[in-house]
Amino acid sequence: MSQIQLWTLLFIGASFAVYLSIAWRSRVKETAGFYVAGQGIPTIANGAAVAADWMSAASFISMAGLIAFLGSDGSIYLMGWTGGYVLLALLIAPYLRKWGKFTVPEFVGDRYSELVRTVAAVAAVIISFTYVVGQMRGGGIVFSRFLGLDVTGGVVVAAVIIGLYAVLGGMKGITWTQVAQYSVLIVAYLIPAVAVAQQMTGIPIPQVSFGQILDELNAISLELGMAQFTDAFAARPQIDVFLVTMSLMIGTAGLPHVIVRFYTTKSVRGARYSAFWALLFIALLYTTAPAVGAFTKLNLLQGVNGASTDALPAWVDNWAATGLVTVGDGVTTIGSVSNNPASGADLIVNNDILVLASPEIAGLPAPIVGLVAAGGLAAAMSTAAGLLLVISSSFSHDLYFRRVKRDSTDKQRLLAGRIAMGLAVLISIYAGINPPAFVAQVVAFAFGLAAASFFPVIVLGIFWKRCNSAGAAAGMITGMVFTATYMIYTLPVFGTEANPHILDISPEGIGAIGAIVNFIVTIVVSKMTAPPRDEIAEMVENIRYPSERRAVAAASTTENS
């Protein structure tokens, strides 16, 4: 066993022992603890849990790799995800926390109708399942490289571990586990970034120092037939850059597994402050990702440029064993590098390995390599657990309890939720082994579906009293079907062939168009049908304004009349 594998086992074993211990100590027997942690999580801890839930395998494992190969166009992920979080924190989270309860479909059901609740529950399951596939894939990649498994075996191991502590502890266990996972993933991300920045520039602040290597990176990229790192719209058309950014942004504000995290705080004030802490914690990684992408790409290209196949760096052979790095047949000297298997390049490097491989590519010691592996697993598991909980709550609370067995006990609902979790884990194993795209792209599809389904009806439900059940149901179904159909049309999924993009719009960007369709359909149908009941209008007023303010407004109206 190599030193890297020994250190990886040490870090992963120690961190897993902590996670499982927390899950066991936090295990719950009632639905309030299972779904919203009893609404008793302290503000800073909830901020760390939100950040861990937020920064999935896509953020930790795949985002910097996409930035490395997309260059400046990779900023769509940085702008979309961080901008969307601000939108969520300011526009949606405080209002939903004031309303309370357990799930996003429950808010939608109370605001509109049981029909809309059912539509929302089905949408939540589809979105969360799409998202969790990326996490299983990310965990499988870590296990495949560092534990000597193939990707299939890695996905199975990751899924079993994630399912174990998610089923055991519910939201309470997941929340405190995510606090520990955030600590692991941020340390694992920052230490190698700082080390590489010091090694390459002499300045151990990656956010500042990576600008010094961009000219060199541009020059070697051109030499190998690649676009310059700093070229705008070299990898994607301008319209698609805008639409993907918008889709990620509004999709973020509609993600059920992130919104439900704000239900776990002690108060509305706590929800606002936990949003601030989460943004700070998220910024530590997101401001570092461009530097990681630039440094790793330069080290990679310098290491393989013009090298003969029998003199390639050791990391190439290590990752080639996983099938995620490929040296072209008949190649004797590396003259071109790509992340696209159809490019015909001499060396094909999967986007999803760059962060995990960056310590090896930079020649850092084995303990740092093992630490990064533990961080990657922490990122994948923290988000996957939250997603599994949304699947569980949507099935047991919004479908089983509301539609099948209204007199079910807490024990029966918990059992139904845990069974739903188990089934979701089994199905996601297959999808994680056969994903339709890179980890970050799969996650982007989930954001697009959330943008086209939840965002419009939540925003209109809070800010437009005239929005009714018929409009919300029609808008959600239309937006979801439109977006999913385009994704299936342009991706090789369900046995279909990939088709060319229409008007240069990628499947990652179609969610923004789906959201517009949803808004239009919801507004038009609501205007054409009867308005909501008076008590619904009062509910909206209660969510948006403090009771004191409404009392003053009512008194003022009476005096004026």
DSSP string, 290-333: HHHHHHHHHHHHHHHTT-BGGG--HHHHHHHTTTSEEEPTT-SB
* Phi, psi dihedrals of residue 59, rounded to the nearest 5°: -70, -45
Spell out, as residue ranges, where the chain has pLDDT lower than 70: 1, 26-40, 100-103, 165-173, 261-266, 268, 436-438, 493-496, 546-561
Give the pLDDT confidence score for residue 355 in this predicted structure: 92
* Phi, psi dihedrals of residue 373, rounded to the nearest 5°: -60, -45
Tokens of 370: 């093992």
User: Taking the domain 3-296+363-539, which CATH number applies?
Assistant: 1.20.1730.10
C-alpha torsion angle, residues 221, 227, 232, 233 (rounded to 10):
-160
Q: Tell me how far apart the terminal alpha carbons of the chain are, to the nearest angstrom.
A: 84
Rounded Cα gap, residues 351 and 175, in angstroms:
30
Partnered with residue 308 across adjacent β-strands are 333
CA distances from 360 to 23, 146, 196, 310, 522 (A): 33, 12, 11, 18, 52
Give the pLDDT confidence score for residue 431 in this predicted structure: 81
Quick count: other Cβ atoms within 10 Å of Cβ 338? 17
* Domain segments of the chain as ranges: 3-296+363-539, 297-349
What is the value of pTM for the model shown? Answer: 0.85
Q: Which long-range contacts (CB under 8 A, 24 or more apart) does 76-79 make?
A: 76/236, 76/241, 76/244, 76/245, 76/248, 77/248, 77/440, 77/444, 78/286, 78/289, 78/290, 79/245, 79/248, 79/249
Under DSSP, is residue 505 helix (H, G, I), strand (E, B) or coil?
coil
Partnered with residue 348 across adjacent β-strands are 326, 338
